[in-house]
Structures are given as C-alpha cells and as structure tokens.
Chains A and B, each alone.
Chain A
C-alpha cells in the first residue's frame, strides 16, 4: 500500500509499504477514505517530535471503511463506514470506564518511556512518535486500529467525508477546550489564533451561547474566515492594534470571561491541534511577553478561565503563576476525551447545526503528501487545512 513515511526533518515520502495485518483479536484494518494533516503533524515534519524512526507512518485524523476484523471484534462488519478516534484506548480500564480515554492504562506498548517523564504512562496516538506508542498512522491506504470494538464509531448517515472527518480529532478537541473554558451564555470569549483550531473554538463558543467572541490573529484572510464562517463577533489584528487595550475596550474594562489559546507555546510540543506560523510571528511581536499564554493572563477577567487546546509538553520559563493566583484564574488543559465527545457531537453535524468543512483549503491525493506537508507548513497558497484521499 501507499503511505506517508517520516524519513527525517522535512523529509516525508509517499512510500510503498507492506499492508497492515491484524496483530491482536481486538484489532481491525481500516481502508482509509479521507485523511487530514493536523497542525501537530507539522511539528513532526519539523523534526521537533521525537523519538521517530525512518519509515514511521504518520497521520491521526482519518476515517474509512472496515476491511478486516479480529475475532473479538463482534460489533463491526466488513464494509462498515467508521470514524477513528485519534487516541488508542482499551475501553475497559478504570479511566476508560470513566470516559477519560486519553488516560487509558493499556494502550501504550512503550509506556515506560512516558512513565519515566510523567510518572505514569500516557496516551498512545496514531503516527505520533514512539513516545506515544509508535503506532502506524492514518496517512496511508490501510491502517491497523487496535481496540476497534471500543473505539470506532460507525457512521450511519450519508454525509460526505469532508463533513465528518474532523470529528476524529480537531472538532471534539476544540469543543472540549471551550467547555474547559467554562463558556456560559452571555459571556465574552477571546480566542488567540485563527487556524483550524481557533476557527472551531469560535464555533464552539457560539454553540455555547457566548455573547461576544473575539478572534485574534494577524492574517487578514483567517480573521475574515473567523468573522464570516466561524461566528466571531469581533476580530483583532494584533499587528495593527494593541490586544490588551482592544480587549479592555470591547469588554468595558471587565476582561473576557474565557481566554482560549488555540496556538500552543512550544514549537516542539506534542500538539494534537493546529499550530501555525502566525504563532511564531506573534511570539516575535511580543518580545517582552514571550508567549500567547502570558498574553492571555493579563486581559482575562478576575476569576476567569484560561483554556489551552494548544498543547504544552515541555517546560516553560518565567511563568507568571503569581498573577494566576492573584486573579484567581482557572487554567485547564489536557488531551481530548475523544471517544466521548465524538459520539456527543456527531448528532450536531448530522443535523446541520455544525458545518465543519469550511476550513478545508486543499484536497489532494496521498501521492501529493510531501508537497502538502510543505504547503501547509509554509502556508503556501493560503493553505489552512489539507485533506487527502489515498
């Protein structure tokens, strides 16, 4: 089969590799029909996510049809159309039973690697380094899906892939981030970053009844998209106006109730979400306040909430914990309870209440993968989201 394989920094190739096979009785093989490049894949492309091995197959945002099932997978049949959640979770440990599937105890065959660092082993993901389990990813014609009987969500509607694909990662991730941000009807929500994650954050805040949704970025076309498609009530181009002053003015001195960092901080962070070049520009702009997170802390209202769908894995220096303490802010983050949210949100997509395909800028083939990675990373041709078909 064809698959996009890591071969080193900025070296991704469409290679011919052996077809995957069932390794465990709870496995299934999925024939991929659509697969996206996530912003977090860009970090792998840039060589920041390690350890990677040459030949590792990438991709964790994909869907397709069931091609083969292991003998313990009794709830799926060949040909079923399915969505694949991006974390690999057993469904039977205590954490999974509580719905906290990214904290599954049983899914990372290389758990000892993260155990050394975090104290306990953490999530395995498709195609996201050996720290995260070393599983082959979904930018391929076929993928082996472990614990298929628990994870896979059968699609019973006739909607095209484009409208469903983002239920496998980005939309649930962002929706949970908006819930983490404690968005209530009538609130003001500020969203930093208008890549795919930021766009869906705005959408989610709208669904939760926010009164004011303020989008912050520096790229006019992304701010335009936020205003016209995602539901932002105001946009701030941080290269043109002072963000703090603008937020103070828009909220008449109260500050946003919720601030969402749809950017992330560390270029080498293991992000499940998009993180774009615009961020780097923002960081350069704010030399004395070197992070988006830091920029959120000051304007946020007293007693407000900070939510980080942008992912942080490394260490931060000069973190103003005292300000968070003094203002009584709540800070929430973490990987998505994807199994739960995917199932909760599919109804909203089916009913047409939520439309997700507006962020797709490029539809390409798997063979175009190496070019797609470059375009996405460099934001050539206003590239914001790439979906590939094998």
Chain B
C-alpha cells in the first residue's frame, strides 16, 4: 500500500517536473498556438457576428425601463414621455436641454443613496453618470444603452436599466 502511494507521489512529482521543465526550456510560442488562437478568434468573431445579426433584427428601441427589486418602477420613452409605476423612493427629473434629461433616483428617505441617469432623446441612449452604490462604480462604468443594445445593472441596489425594444406598448405620462 505504502509502495503504491509512493509510486503515485513519484509520478505526480515527475509530471510537475515535466510541466516546469517544458516551460523553462521551451519557447514562448509553439507551432500549435497559431491554431489555438485561430479557433479562439473564430469563436469570438462568431459571437460578435451572432449578436450583430440578432440586434439588426430587433425592433427599434422606444425607451428604457427602470427595474427596482425585480419590478418595473419607472419607464422613460425616447419621445420625452415617462411613467412612474410606483417607485418607492423619489425620482427627480431635470430637463437640461430639449433632448437631454437627468434622472435622479433616490433609494432612501434621507437621499444619501442615489443613482443619476442621463438620457439623450436624439441619440436614443441612457447612461449612469454617478451612483453611490460602491466605490468601484461598476454601473457608471457600464457602456451606455444605445439603440436598444446593452443593459446597466447596479447589483448593490438591485437596480436595472433595460432597453424597451418596441415589443411593449409605448407608455405615456
């Protein structure tokens, strides 16, 4: 039994020594690497193409909806209309220009937890400018929702901004 265990350990050590020596004495790139990278790039290219084709077939984006605790609490259309569907916090809407709106979503009464969203009607995009959720600001680093592509998710506040791609009726408010 001990002999078998010793042999297994010996084999494992030889295997590791093999990995180490192969990297130590080998070149940084080997011939088959080209094949590996080609396959990887083809798969990534395929994913890019797939998403491009899917997005091309999508109906036009009509606005964005705001989901808080898994419920659609607010909807903003790219024609400038909006509807509050029962957001428990406070929403402040600031019309900066004819086409640019700033929406401040306050999640608590003392208004210390909030997210500021910029909406541009002309370019049909929504973007998080600032949020108090975490110091890494993942949601404000997310790419903007543009032409119905993408989503912005704030995990700490369980707050999502999702595009409306024409499959739902336009709300007025």
Are these two chains actual partners, yes or no?
no
Q: Which residues of A contact B (CB under 8 A)?
A: none
Q: Which residues of B contact A (CB under 8 A)?
A: none
